[in-house]
Amino acid sequence: MKLTIFTSAVAGLAAITMATAPLATAGPEEDFLKYIADHGITWPAGKTQAIIDAGHGVCEDWQNGATFSKEVNDVTSATNWTDQQAGVFIGAATGAFCPQYESKIK
């Protein structure tokens, strides 16, 4: 029950993230990086391509049937980010790279 409520809250945050993301002014990768950085997600210098690849990986996971809860768990397991940061990352990646999967996070 507790996980369900928390997962719903994180999904809501991710949906808000996508809805309030600025329209693309640069390429989707630049917009994605700026958005997650503006929301407190950091990564080591020289790892920008790995972050972009991880964003595209979210889309691959959606294509392979991942659930939002599993995606949050996978992201937090692979990083030191909070569930909230993972939700922002997942929402931003989905909005930037595979908006056809937006229903997965609503």
Number of structural domains the chain divides into: 1
Structural domain for 22, as ranges: 2-105
Whole-number pLDDT of residue 80: 86
60: left (phi over 0), alpha (psi -120 to 50) or beta: alpha
Whole-number pLDDT of residue 16: 55
pLDDT digits (tens, 9 = 90+) for 48-99: 999 999 999 999 999 999 999 999 999 999 998 999 999 999 999 999 999 9
